[in-house]
Structure 1
Amino acid sequence: MGNSYTEEWSAILAFMSQLKLSRVESFLARYVFQSAVYVIWRERNSRNHGENPRPLENLFRTIDKMIKNRVMSLRTQDKRLEKALQVWIAYVELKLFFFLFSSVLKK
């Protein structure tokens, strides 16, 4: 898939299944995907029932919270995923840094 955009479900699933990542990174990538699909579906459903759209930032926060909660619950069950929370927080902080840095450069 690379940098290209697709709405083809089979292409998205093929891309997700071909990722060459560590156990922790693979878990996080799959769970982020699952959480994003769920949050987008829920947002679409809410809009179809007349609710106001939520800001994109709220959707990202919801996904972040879902991932942190899931990782916290798994840390006691699977010792191989103990570093997942550290990896996730580092990833989110890095993305936030680049977002803030790029917005400063645009000014």
Structure 2
Amino acid sequence: MWGLQVQQSCCLCDQALEDRDHLFLRCEVSEHLWTLILRRLGYGRFFFHTWLAFVTWMGDRDSVTPLTLRRLASQATIYTIWTERNSRLHNNVSSSPAALFKKLDRQLKDIILARSNRKAFKGLMQRWLATE
């Protein structure tokens, strides 16, 4: 359409075709990042194998993590994966999952601090840091 030559394999792992489920949920880089995020949120090791499972998890209330923090962490993780993909694709610069998590951790702390006076954000910093 635009005359662009687009690589069809995943920019993060180069092991599978890049689609939404693979890039954001099943790629080894994404899975590693999700493992770090889910551990910080207080969950055991599990992976989302479909987008529907991910969206369902984001909407379900549970006793492990407040819904606001889970949604905030999910949005920030998806954004981090997307920006890493674009950094690798357009700038040929890559970061490790540990480095991505460090950036993500700082971003989430900043977001929570900036909104700490809002009711939905009360106690979220304590919860985010609980398993640090």
Corresponding residue of 1:9: 51
Residue 115 of structure 2 corresponds to 74
TM normalised by structure 2 equals 0.58
In the alignment, structure 1 residue 18 sits paired with structure 2 residue 60:
yes
Q: Are the structure 2 counterparts of residues 13 and 80 from structure 1 closer, same or farther at C-alpha, using a change threshold of 3 Å?
A: closer
What is the count of residue pairs matched by the alignment? 89
Q: RMSD between aligned alpha carbons?
A: 2.3
8 Å CA contact 2:84–2:94 kept in 1: the answer is yes
Mark the runs of 5 or more structure 2 residues left unpaired by the alignment: 1-43
Report what 1:29 is aligned to: 70
1:26-61: CA deviations, max 9, x gaps? 111111111100000000011111422111111001
Structure 1 or 2: more helix by fraction: 1
**Cα distance in 1 between the residues matched to 2:49 and 2:100:** 20
Cross-structure match for 1:55: 96
Q: Which runs of 5+ in 1 are unaligned?
A: 94-107
SS of the aligned residue for 1:75 comes to coil
CA deviations over 1:42-84 (Å, ceiling 9, x no partner): 00011111422111111001110111011101112x1452211
- Runs of 4+ aligned residues of structure 1 deviating over 6 Å after TM superposition are none
